[in-house]
Amino acid sequence: MEVAAEAARSNVDVRFQGWLPRVEALRWLKHASVLIFPSHGPESLSRVLLEAAVLGVPTAAMDTGG
């Protein structure tokens, strides 16, 4: 993964978590500085984006629409 390789070379703490059980995901999200949420296809609205907003976590997401 090109993005992971670039992150490894930087001085930025980047974590690629992949799928997590909901409770564990919320625990990680609560302590995140930012959520980067790429999307592979159309979605109406992902719950993780709402959860990040409620927790006050800034989010970068793709505008794919649904």
Give the predicted TM-score (pTM) of the model: 0.71
Higher-pLDDT residue of 1 and 40 is 40
The answer to whether 56 and 30 are in contact (CB under 8 A) is no
Domain boundaries, the chain: 15-61
Neighbours of 61 (CB within 10 A): 15
* pLDDT bracket for residue 66 (50, 70, 90): low
> Given this model, what pLDDT does residue 4 score?
79
Q: Stretch 35-49: mean pLDDT, rounded?
A: 81
